[in-house]
Amino acid sequence: MTTYIAAGPLVNYFFYKAIGVIDPPGPNIPLDYGKIYFYKDEDHSEATGKLDSWSDVFDPDNPVVNPWPLRLGGQGDVGIIYLEDRLYFIQIYSKDDILQWTINHFNPGGDAGGSENDALNYIPNGQFLLHNDLAATQTLQAGEIREAITDIAPGGWTFERTDASTAKDFVTFDRYDAYAAQPPGNPRYALHFRCSVPDSGDIYKRISVKFPNVNRFSSPTQQYTLGFTGIDNGDTAVSVDFYVRKNFGTGGDTEVSTLLKLLISLQR
């Protein structure tokens, strides 16, 4: 018999649009008529990993099953959600099918509705469901970078290099058509960067995601973790640095750049 559990922080909750994937950007804009998808934590495919949620389990033998995906109300509101006593992978979309958040290892039976290992992914559009395929021109190939700062995907994703660079750099997106254990998280797309003609004068090449709010992660108690998984397809090892940059805008404090170490995983 299924054990039903009210899903902790998802009960009588109001969802808001993710900063960085809305237009115009700004905090506390309701995720009106958004969608919530529930999957098995170990299987994120709709064919075999789709899981139900329930709105009424008064009669356990005839529970009221929610539509899949579960629709939010006009203010991003949702009533009581009942789930099974198991681990979930959850995706939250806008009504326009723009991914807002993902939640890994969600345990509705844990303290406050989730275990200490719950991982809320704050990166907007982290699976690159929306991305910019740079079209070929008479002088440039498909995917070839053409600006010092190039918007490569919604959500604040850019590729950046020095203004005078003459390198041939390419950014494309490889689709995973089936479930993949590696890279972790079973992403829909992987960002693929390639340099076919280097420029010795290039000081840096950056793949960046920006949050337009300097206080987005300010908290005296909350700790945040992050990681990155990459695959080196070259013939020689490539060194990749991972930075967090705080830029406080015109008239604000000086930009702070922090190098994070021991978080990079490059596989060959």
Give pLDDT tens digits for 160-189. Answer: 999 999 999 999 999 888 777 777 767 778
Other Cβ atoms within 10 Å of 31 Cβ, number: 25
What is the percentage of the chain residues whose pLDDT exceeds 70?
Answer: 78
Alpha-carbon gap, residue 4 to 9, rounded angstroms: 15
Report yes or no on whether pTM surpasses 0.85.
no
Residue 129 in domain: no
112 in a domain, yes or no?
A: yes
- Range 151-157 average pLDDT: 85
Instruction: Identify the pLDDT of residue 21.
Output: 59
- 12-56 pLDDT, tens digit per residue, is 566 777 766 555 545 567 888 999 999 998 889 899 999 999 988
In a domain, 181, yes or no: yes
Residues 73 and 180 in one domain: no
220 within domain boundaries: yes
DSSP E strands in the chain: the ranges are: 4-6, 13-14, 35-40, 54-56, 64-65, 70-71, 77-78, 82-84, 88-93, 99-106, 119-121, 149-153, 157-161, 168-175, 189-197, 205-209, 228-231, 242-246, 256-260, 264-267
In a domain, 127, yes or no: no
Q: What is the pLDDT of residue 59?
A: 83
Co-location of 110 and 172 in the same domain: no
Instruction: Answer whether residue 230 is part of any domain.
Output: yes
Overall number of domains in the chain:
2
pLDDT tens for each residue of 112-131: 333 344 455 667 777 787 78
Q: CATH number for the domain including 50? A: 2.170.14.10
Cα separation of 249 and 255, whole Å? Answer: 8
Q: Is residue 229 part of a domain?
A: yes
Percent of the chain with pLDDT over 90: 28
The answer to whether residues 133 and 104 touch, using CB atoms and an 8 Å cutoff, is no
- 263 and 213 fall within a common domain: yes
Query: Which one has a higher pLDDT value, 137 or 125?
Result: 137
Identify the band that residue 159 occupies on the pLDDT scale cut at 50, 70 and 90.
very high
Among 72, 104, 121, residue at a domain's last position: 121
Within a domain: 184 = yes
Whether residue 48 sits in one domain with residue 156: no
Residues 177 and 113 in one domain: no
Q: Which domain holds residue 59?
A: 4-121
Domain identity same for 161 and 258: yes
Q: What is the mean pLDDT of residues 249-253?
A: 80
